Amino acid sequence: MKFIKKCLQFFKRNPSVNYIDDEIDEHNIEDQFQLLENAYIQLHQQSPLENLTTHSLSDIHGNYAVEGHNPWDKSSKYTGALSIEKLEQNYSFDWAVGISNLYQKGEGQIISNFLKVDFVYKDNEHTFKGLVIYKQIDEESMEGFWIEEGIFDVGFERLTLKNKGFQ
Protein backbone atom coordinates (compact mmCIF):
# COMPACT_ATOMS: atom_id res chain seq x y z
CA MET A 1 0.00 0.00 0.00
CA LYS A 2 2.83 2.41 0.86
CA PHE A 3 4.48 1.69 -2.50
CA ILE A 4 1.27 2.44 -4.39
CA LYS A 5 0.83 5.71 -2.50
CA LYS A 6 4.41 6.75 -3.39
CA CYS A 7 3.81 5.87 -7.05
CA LEU A 8 0.61 7.90 -7.16
CA GLN A 9 2.36 10.88 -5.54
CA PHE A 10 5.19 10.65 -8.05
CA PHE A 11 2.99 10.50 -11.14
CA LYS A 12 0.42 13.04 -9.95
CA ARG A 13 2.81 15.84 -9.14
CA ASN A 14 4.13 18.38 -11.56
CA PRO A 15 7.75 19.50 -11.30
CA SER A 16 7.97 21.42 -8.04
CA VAL A 17 10.31 24.18 -9.12
CA ASN A 18 12.79 24.93 -11.86
CA TYR A 19 16.44 25.57 -11.10
CA ILE A 20 16.89 29.22 -10.16
CA ASP A 21 19.28 30.76 -12.66
CA ASP A 22 18.20 34.35 -12.08
CA GLU A 23 20.27 36.85 -10.15
CA ILE A 24 19.47 36.64 -6.45
CA ASP A 25 19.85 39.83 -4.45
CA GLU A 26 18.47 41.64 -1.40
CA HIS A 27 15.24 42.41 -3.30
CA ASN A 28 14.29 38.79 -4.03
CA ILE A 29 16.24 36.51 -1.67
CA GLU A 30 13.33 36.04 0.73
CA ASP A 31 10.97 35.25 -2.16
CA GLN A 32 13.45 32.71 -3.57
CA PHE A 33 13.78 31.05 -0.16
CA GLN A 34 9.98 30.93 0.11
CA LEU A 35 9.75 29.45 -3.40
CA LEU A 36 12.10 26.62 -2.40
CA GLU A 37 10.28 26.05 0.90
CA ASN A 38 6.87 25.95 -0.84
CA ALA A 39 8.17 23.46 -3.42
CA TYR A 40 9.51 21.34 -0.55
CA ILE A 41 6.14 21.46 1.25
CA GLN A 42 4.33 20.52 -1.98
CA LEU A 43 6.51 17.42 -2.25
CA HIS A 44 6.71 16.36 1.42
CA GLN A 45 3.49 17.84 2.89
CA GLN A 46 5.32 19.68 5.69
CA SER A 47 8.12 22.13 6.34
CA PRO A 48 11.15 20.81 8.20
CA LEU A 49 12.09 24.22 9.56
CA GLU A 50 12.33 24.16 13.34
CA ASN A 51 11.96 27.85 13.93
CA LEU A 52 10.14 30.49 11.92
CA THR A 53 12.29 33.33 13.30
CA THR A 54 15.18 34.41 11.11
CA HIS A 55 18.28 35.53 12.98
CA SER A 56 20.76 38.00 11.61
CA LEU A 57 23.76 36.37 9.91
CA SER A 58 27.21 37.75 10.50
CA ASP A 59 30.11 35.55 11.62
CA ILE A 60 29.44 32.22 9.91
CA HIS A 61 32.97 30.88 9.31
CA GLY A 62 33.75 27.56 10.98
CA ASN A 63 33.24 23.82 10.80
CA TYR A 64 29.72 22.41 10.72
CA ALA A 65 28.06 19.04 11.01
CA VAL A 66 25.69 18.46 8.09
CA GLU A 67 22.41 16.54 8.14
CA GLY A 68 20.10 16.49 5.17
CA HIS A 69 18.07 14.51 2.75
CA ASN A 70 17.81 14.27 -0.99
CA PRO A 71 14.84 15.74 -2.87
CA TRP A 72 13.20 12.51 -3.95
CA ASP A 73 12.64 11.01 -0.49
CA LYS A 74 12.98 12.19 3.11
CA SER A 75 14.34 8.75 3.99
CA SER A 76 17.27 9.28 1.58
CA LYS A 77 19.32 10.92 4.33
CA TYR A 78 22.95 11.93 4.43
CA THR A 79 25.37 13.35 6.98
CA GLY A 80 28.75 14.94 6.65
CA ALA A 81 30.91 17.95 7.36
CA LEU A 82 31.12 21.47 6.00
CA SER A 83 33.92 23.99 6.34
CA ILE A 84 33.08 27.65 5.75
CA GLU A 85 35.95 30.07 5.25
CA LYS A 86 35.70 33.85 4.95
CA LEU A 87 37.13 35.32 1.77
CA GLU A 88 37.31 39.06 1.06
CA GLN A 89 33.69 39.65 -0.02
CA ASN A 90 32.26 36.10 0.02
CA TYR A 91 32.64 32.74 1.72
CA SER A 92 34.15 29.48 0.50
CA PHE A 93 32.32 26.21 1.26
CA ASP A 94 33.79 22.69 1.30
CA TRP A 95 31.40 19.77 1.93
CA ALA A 96 32.18 16.09 2.45
CA VAL A 97 28.84 14.25 2.61
CA GLY A 98 27.34 10.79 2.38
CA ILE A 99 28.91 7.37 2.84
CA SER A 100 31.43 8.07 0.11
CA ASN A 101 32.33 11.53 1.50
CA LEU A 102 31.29 13.14 -1.77
CA TYR A 103 33.26 16.37 -2.11
CA GLN A 104 31.36 19.51 -3.05
CA LYS A 105 32.66 23.03 -3.34
CA GLY A 106 30.76 26.28 -3.23
CA GLU A 107 30.95 30.01 -2.99
CA GLY A 108 28.37 32.08 -1.20
CA GLN A 109 27.40 35.35 0.35
CA ILE A 110 25.17 36.75 3.02
CA ILE A 111 22.22 38.57 1.48
CA SER A 112 19.92 40.25 4.01
CA ASN A 113 19.30 37.52 6.63
CA PHE A 114 19.98 34.62 4.26
CA LEU A 115 23.04 32.75 3.10
CA LYS A 116 23.04 31.96 -0.64
CA VAL A 117 25.53 29.38 -1.89
CA ASP A 118 26.21 28.19 -5.43
CA PHE A 119 27.82 24.75 -5.34
CA VAL A 120 29.34 22.22 -7.74
CA TYR A 121 30.46 18.62 -7.57
CA LYS A 122 31.64 16.00 -10.01
CA ASP A 123 31.33 12.29 -10.58
CA ASN A 124 33.38 10.32 -13.09
CA GLU A 125 31.61 11.80 -16.11
CA HIS A 126 29.56 14.86 -15.14
CA THR A 127 29.71 18.14 -13.29
CA PHE A 128 26.61 19.11 -11.33
CA LYS A 129 25.71 22.55 -10.06
CA GLY A 130 23.18 23.68 -7.55
CA LEU A 131 21.97 26.37 -5.22
CA VAL A 132 21.23 26.30 -1.50
CA ILE A 133 19.70 29.10 0.55
CA TYR A 134 20.06 28.89 4.33
CA LYS A 135 18.62 30.91 7.14
CA GLN A 136 20.08 31.01 10.62
CA ILE A 137 17.90 29.33 13.23
CA ASP A 138 19.98 30.16 16.32
CA GLU A 139 23.59 30.99 17.24
CA GLU A 140 24.87 27.56 16.14
CA SER A 141 22.56 26.27 13.41
CA MET A 142 21.28 27.07 9.94
CA GLU A 143 18.64 25.34 7.84
CA GLY A 144 18.11 25.59 4.13
CA PHE A 145 16.68 24.23 0.94
CA TRP A 146 18.70 23.18 -2.08
CA ILE A 147 18.08 22.42 -5.71
CA GLU A 148 20.26 21.14 -8.52
CA GLU A 149 20.13 21.90 -12.19
CA GLY A 150 17.99 19.27 -13.90
CA ILE A 151 16.25 18.08 -10.73
CA PHE A 152 12.86 19.66 -10.18
CA ASP A 153 12.49 18.84 -6.49
CA VAL A 154 13.99 20.42 -3.41
CA GLY A 155 16.23 18.90 -0.76
CA PHE A 156 16.78 20.02 2.81
CA GLU A 157 19.91 20.55 4.87
CA ARG A 158 20.65 21.46 8.50
CA LEU A 159 24.05 22.79 9.62
CA THR A 160 25.20 22.67 13.24
CA LEU A 161 28.35 24.55 14.27
CA LYS A 162 31.07 22.25 15.67
CA ASN A 163 33.81 24.87 16.09
CA LYS A 164 34.99 28.18 14.69
CA GLY A 165 38.28 26.71 13.42
CA PHE A 166 41.18 29.00 12.70
CA GLN A 167 40.52 32.31 11.05
Distant-in-sequence, close-in-space partners of 24: CB < 8 Å, separation ≥ 6:
32, 111, 116, 133
Distance CA 145, CA 3 (A): 26
Fold entry, domain 50-167: Lipocalin (2.40.128)
**pTM for the full predicted model:** 0.84
Three-state SS string over 16-40 comes to CCCCCCCCCCCCCHHHHHHHHHHHH
Q: According to the model, what pLDDT value does residue 152 have? A: 79
Distance CA 72, CA 106 (A): 22
Query: What are 65-99's pLDDT values in tens digits?
Result: 999 998 888 888 999 999 999 998 899 999 999 88
Query: What are 33-62's pLDDT values in tens digits?
Result: 999 999 888 888 888 876 656 677 878 999
